[in-house]
């Protein structure tokens, strides 16, 4: 087994990694943009996060099943998605981030659309795909290790790497209004911050999706940026990059009038949000780079894609972004940053 050496990667700093790069992109351009469908899963498979591997194969997590699949984004509906890993004993896989080439942190637990998350089932796992390579893509070569058992969490959804070499990963708990911090070297998960502003009742929205608090999470410039769903807030928490501890409280940048899901930064600094709402508010929204706190800075870029889930990653061409439309069971691609 490779598990000990995988674990050791996060205790030995000579193996330190560069921080993940933001989406590469060029200048802003005309909107709206029509997305292109890459793959439609069956109705039992609700895709959550998508992440491009360095070899440009796309990993897709499943909110309603314990699987990670791999898709080739250059192939269409005719391909057969490859089953990368099954998290036996669990029912849901949500967040995924890359800690180093082909080593990922993944959030795994139990969640159902009707019942919501099951308290105490959620953890971060390290998934090692360094031997999951072509031509065989042999799933028996994949290893997964439970990290920093988070028995206090009700769910761990969106993930962000605070310090890859130090093995610090933050994850959102939309039920408790907590951002958890998993320390891989110490194999421990603790609360980074808990706030009513991050909790399910902020904003007073109802319904299973509307009652979700803190959802998307991205780390940038010593800040953990977040979105909340019920209240539609976009803001940040300042964080010490060596310890992962919060160095201040929450700053709200804007309180949107729609329910935000996940988001990501483009290299331009523009922020793209997915939303839960139907048209006219459903779709992907842009918050222009440099928009000051208190202003919405927002343009609707893709209309009529309500119930979107997660903006995921750059396809490698520099301006396409892949995302999933959860309730359509789809993974899609859209050119959000114009000509390139």
Ligand X SMILES: *[C@@H]1O[C@H](CO)[C@@H](O)[C@H](O)[C@H]1NC(C)=O
* The one segment of 113-121, 192-200, 206-214, 225-233 that binds ligand X by CB under 6 A: 113-121
Instruction: Report how many residues bind ligand X under the rule CB under 6 A.
Output: 42
- Rule CB under 6 A: say whether 52 interacts with ligand X: yes
Which residue's CB is nearer to ligand X, number 27 or number 257? 257
- Least Cα distance to 319 among 301, 300, 337 occurs for 337
- Which region, left, alpha or beta, applies to residue 197 given φ > 0 means left and ψ of -120 to 50 means alpha? alpha
| Radius of gyration (C-alpha) of the chain in whole angstroms | 18
- Rule CB under 6 A: say whether 15 interacts with ligand X: no
Q: Which of residues 146-205 bind ligand X (CB under 6 A)?
A: 146-147, 149, 152, 154, 163, 165-166, 175-176, 187
- Rule CB under 6 A: say whether 245 interacts with ligand X: no
Q: Which of residues 264-323 bind ligand X (CB under 6 A)?
A: 264, 296, 298, 313-314
3-state secondary structure 205-244: CCCCCCCCCEEEEEEECCEEEEEECCCCEEEEEEECCCCC
Burial per residue of 167-198, b for 16 or more beta-carbon CB atoms within 10 angstroms, e otherwise: bbbbbbbbbbbbbbbbbbbeeebeebbebebb
Binder of ligand X out of 10, 87, 90, 272 (CB under 6 A): 90
- Rule CB under 6 A: say whether 54 interacts with ligand X: yes
* The one segment of 90-98, 268-276, 302-310, 330-338 that binds ligand X by CB under 6 A: 90-98
- Rule CB under 6 A: say whether 234 interacts with ligand X: no
* The one segment of 52-60, 198-206, 244-252, 271-279 that binds ligand X by CB under 6 A: 52-60
Compute the distance between CA of residue 149 and CA of residue 138 in angstroms, rounded to an integer.
28
Q: Which of residues 20-49 bind ligand X (CB under 6 A)?
A: 20-23, 42, 44-45
- Rule CB under 6 A: say whether 252 interacts with ligand X: no
Binder of ligand X out of 40, 86, 119, 194 (CB under 6 A): 119
Sheet holding 298-303, edge to edge: 260-265, 271-275, 283-287, 298-303
Task: Quote the tokens at residue 218.
Answer: 């991205």
Other residues' Cβ atoms within 10 Å of the Cβ of residue 18: 8
At 6, phi and psi to the nearest 5?
Answer: -65, -45
Residues engaged in binding ligand X (CB under 6 A): 7, 13, 20-23, 42, 44-45, 51-54, 89-91, 98, 110, 118-121, 145-147, 149, 152, 154, 163, 165-166, 175-176, 187, 241-242, 257, 264, 296, 298, 313-314
């Amino acid at each position: 087994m490779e598990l000990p050496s995988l674990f050791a990667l996060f205790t030995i700093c000579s193996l330190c990694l560069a921080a993940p790069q933001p989406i590469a992109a060029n200048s802003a351009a005309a909107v709206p943009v029509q997305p292109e469908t890459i793959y439609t899963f069956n109705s039992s498979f609700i895709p959550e996060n998508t992440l491009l591997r360095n070899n440009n194969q796309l990993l897709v997590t499943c909110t309603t099943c314990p699987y990670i699949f791999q898709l080739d984004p250059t192939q269409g509906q005719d391909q057969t998605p490859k089953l990368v890993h099954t998290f036996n004993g669990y029912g849901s896989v949500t967040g995924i981030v890359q800690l180093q080439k082909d080593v990922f942190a993944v959030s795994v637990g139990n969640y159902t659309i009707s019942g919501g998350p099951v308290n105490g089932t959620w953890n971060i796992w390290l998934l090692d795909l360094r031997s999951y390579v072509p031509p065989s893509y042999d799933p028996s070569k994949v290893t997964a290790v439970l990290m920093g058992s988070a028995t206090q969490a009700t769910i761990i959804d969106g993930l962000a790497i605070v310090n890859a070499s130090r093995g610090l990963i933050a994850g959102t708990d939309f039920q408790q209004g907590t951002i958890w911090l998993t320390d891989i070297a110490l194999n421990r998960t603790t609360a980074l911050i808990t706030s009513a502003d991050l909790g399910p009742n902020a904003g007073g929205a109802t319904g299973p999706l509307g009652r979700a608090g803190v959802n998307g999470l991205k780390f940038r410039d010593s800040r953990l940026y977040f979105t909340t769903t019920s209240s539609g807030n976009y803001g940040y928490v300042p964080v010490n990059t060596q310890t992962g501890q919060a160095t201040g409280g929450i700053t709200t940048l804007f309180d949107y009038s729609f329910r935000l899901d996940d988001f990501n930064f483009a290299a331009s600094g523009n922020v793209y949000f997915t939303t839960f709402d139907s048209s006219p508010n459903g779709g992907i929204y842009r918050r222009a780079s440099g928009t000051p706190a208190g202003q919405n800075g927002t343009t609707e870029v893709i209309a009529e894609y309500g119930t979107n889930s997660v903006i995921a990653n750059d396809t490698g061409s520099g301006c396409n972004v892949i995302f999933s439309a959860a309730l359509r069971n789809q993974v899609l691609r859209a050119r959000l940053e114009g000509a390139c």
